[in-house]
Amino acid sequence: MTEAEIRQAVKDAGVKLLENNLVQGTWGNISIRIDDKKMVVTPSGMDYIRMRPEDTVVVDIETLEYTSDVKPTSEKKIHAAIYRDRPEIGAVIHSHPLWSSAVAAARIEMPVKDERHRKLIGDSVRPGAYGLPGTKKLTAGAVEAIKGRNACFLANHGIVVCAPTIEEAFEVCRAMEECSRDFIESFVRKDLGKEEISVEDIFTVFNKKIK
Amino acid sequence: MKEKIISQMLDFCAALEANKLVARGDTLSVRYKDGMFITPSDKAMAEVKAGDIKFLSKSDAADGNDGLHLAIYGTRPDINAVITNHAPFCVGVAASCKSLPAALDDMAQIIGPTAKVSPDGDALTVLRTLKGRNACLIRNGGVVATGRTLDEAFTGSMVLEKGALCYVGSTVIGKSVKIGLFDALLMRFVYKTKYSKKDQTAKQQELKA
């Protein structure tokens, strides 16, 4: 892929994230590796619909330097650290999906039971240490938690996934959401002793827990 | 500008329906001159047409839902758009809790450290509950979400419903770890004054162009 094609792919991925409710508003960020030295990342605080391919930013994976007038995402450090650590990785997505974010807010490790999901994600998903957006603590936590896997939770924040291609990274995002929903609903099924559950059933268990 | 606002309102009516956030009776409004444009409360959002959207001046006699929207614009100069909705997890939390704490950073940023629950839908009570926040819940009612733009009020509605799902879901599997008050306030300050400023200003300018 040329740099222009990569910029377009990053833009398209942003729109896809928004359309699939994997992010809301301007949050989340995406990158695609150009080569060993450079990556294309989304800009900071810009609406994915309004964002043009030329608004994406080429960032040096080693130094984090960029020449564009547009400021890159503050989470570029997480993206760069994953590319430095994992030569096989070609795309990284940080998203805020519904059910995965719920597990991220509990700050616990989630087992991955479905064989289909295990192939995409790994055996389990660990939470990275809590840190404010853009901080070293958040980056270090994410890099540690994603080691040996293709996904991790960011405590009280969302998820980071990585894969050889942007299409595969999307598959990991989707698998994370399915797996997280099933994980949460399994507690409700077990508590109420029934297989089919509704939002009301989730609240039944929630109300018991907060009493 | 009037046509652009109405066209945008119809787009967001469709988006709220598509995301299953609204029930019959829910409305959205946008501040305009000395009043607001507001959708009708007797139609499903998916059925609203341009001709159904009415203008109400701040001096018009209004009660109920219309009165609540006007009261918000009258007391909160920072707000230019209001959405009332019945997002399912928000409605559930409003029935069980006194407030919804921010379990996620995006909710802390766009809504505030908590979304409080108003004991009823009375306009003055809702205004008190909404103070310092961009949204609140109403016990046995729905959600009031606001923003500098309609886009921000819509995003706030989406983020609040996700925040409610996350609070409930994380409690079910163990414990919802809340974001500390200092961090939540810091993130909200950065969001309002820096992170979202350029994007929101551009969206406000587009309507005026």
Q: What is the pLDDT of residues A156-165, one digit of tens each?
A: 999 999 999 9
CATH fold of B2-208 reads L-fuculose-1-phosphate Aldolase (3.40.225)
Do B169 and A205 lie within an 8 Å CB cutoff? no
Do B103 and A105 lie within an 8 Å CB cutoff? yes
Cβ neighbours of B169 in A, within 8 Å: 99, 102-103, 105-106, 184, 202
Write down the domain spans for chain B: 2-208
* pLDDT score at A192: 97
Total domains, chain A:
1
A155 in helix, strand or coil?
coil
**Of B88, B106, B176, Cβ closest to residue A27:** B106
Instruction: Give me the DSSP letters along B166-186.
Output: HHHHHHHHS---PPPHHHHHH
Tell me what percent of the residues of chain A surpass a pLDDT of 70. Answer: 100
Do A156 and B199 lie within an 8 Å CB cutoff? no
Helix (H) or strand (E) run with residue B17 in it: helix B2-18
Give the number of residues written for chain B. 209
State yes or no: ipTM above 0.85: yes
Residue from B8, B20, B96, B105 whose CB has the most chain A CBs within 10 Å, to mutate: B105
Is the pLDDT at B207 greater than 80, yes or no? no
Instruction: Supply the pTM of this predicted model.
Output: 0.93
Strand order in the sheet with B135-138: B54-57, B35-38, B28-32, B81-85, B143-147, B135-138, B114-118, B99-101
Taking alpha carbons only, the member of B194, B167, B183, B22 closest to residue A71 is B194
A98 reaches B (C-beta below 8 A): yes
Backbone φ and ψ of A125, nearest 5°: -120, 125
**Of B104, B105, B198, Cβ closest to residue A45:** B198
Q: Could you tell me if A82 and A92 are in contact, meaning their C-beta atoms sit under 8 angstroms apart?
A: yes
The string of pLDDT tens digits covering residues A107-122 is 999 999 999 999 999 9
The string of pLDDT tens digits covering residues B153-191 is 999 999 999 999 999 999 999 988 999 999 999 999 999
Backbone φ and ψ of B26, nearest 5°: -75, 150
CATH code where residue A34 lies: 3.40.225.10
The string of pLDDT tens digits covering residues B87-97 is 999 999 999 99
Cβ neighbours of B83 in A, within 8 Å: none
Give the number of residues written for chain A. 211
The string of pLDDT tens digits covering residues B11-44 is 999 999 999 999 999 999 999 999 999 999 999 9
* pLDDT score at A102: 97
The string of pLDDT tens digits covering residues A72-105 is 999 999 999 999 999 999 999 999 999 999 999 9
Is the pLDDT at B209 greater than 80, yes or no? no
> Distance between CA atoms of B160 and B156, rounded to whole angstroms?
6
